Amino acid sequence: MNFKFLLLIVTAAAAVFVFLSFKSGCGLDSRAAVKELIDNGALVVDVRTPEEYAAGHYENSVNIPLGELESKIDLFGSKDNNIVVYCRTGNRSEKAKIILERYGFKNVTNGGGLKDMQF
């Protein structure tokens, strides 16, 4: 097999993989599902820094920075509560979702970035 052809195939496969990874949005859940959860009383948690939160945040959200999440785990209440976490881009909120699930929370949703939370 021609080396250039093989290299082309591998490069194309890598490009498709990267595209699909970004398209999935870091595990973000659908906007409609997030809005429905919030409308039905989910706890909305902003995991950005206090400075970022002060500059603008989703209405009725609480600020628990990612670095303080584990030390404030008792603030989340029942492990069956619906929780929506968000940050600036969706990356920190995905980490927060993983941490909360590791602590046994069953209904954690990554709301993505603040711009994604505009319904």
Domains of the chain: 27-117 (3.40.250.10)
pLDDT in tens, 20-66: 444 444 455 699 999 999 999 999 999 999 999 999 999 999 999 99
Query: Looking at the predicted structure, is the pLDDT value of residue 80 above 50?
Result: yes
Closest listed residue to residue 65, CA positions, set 100, 29, 96: 96
Quick count: other Cβ atoms within 10 Å of Cβ 92? 24
Residues annotated as part of the active site? 87
Q: Is the pLDDT of residue 7 over 90?
A: no
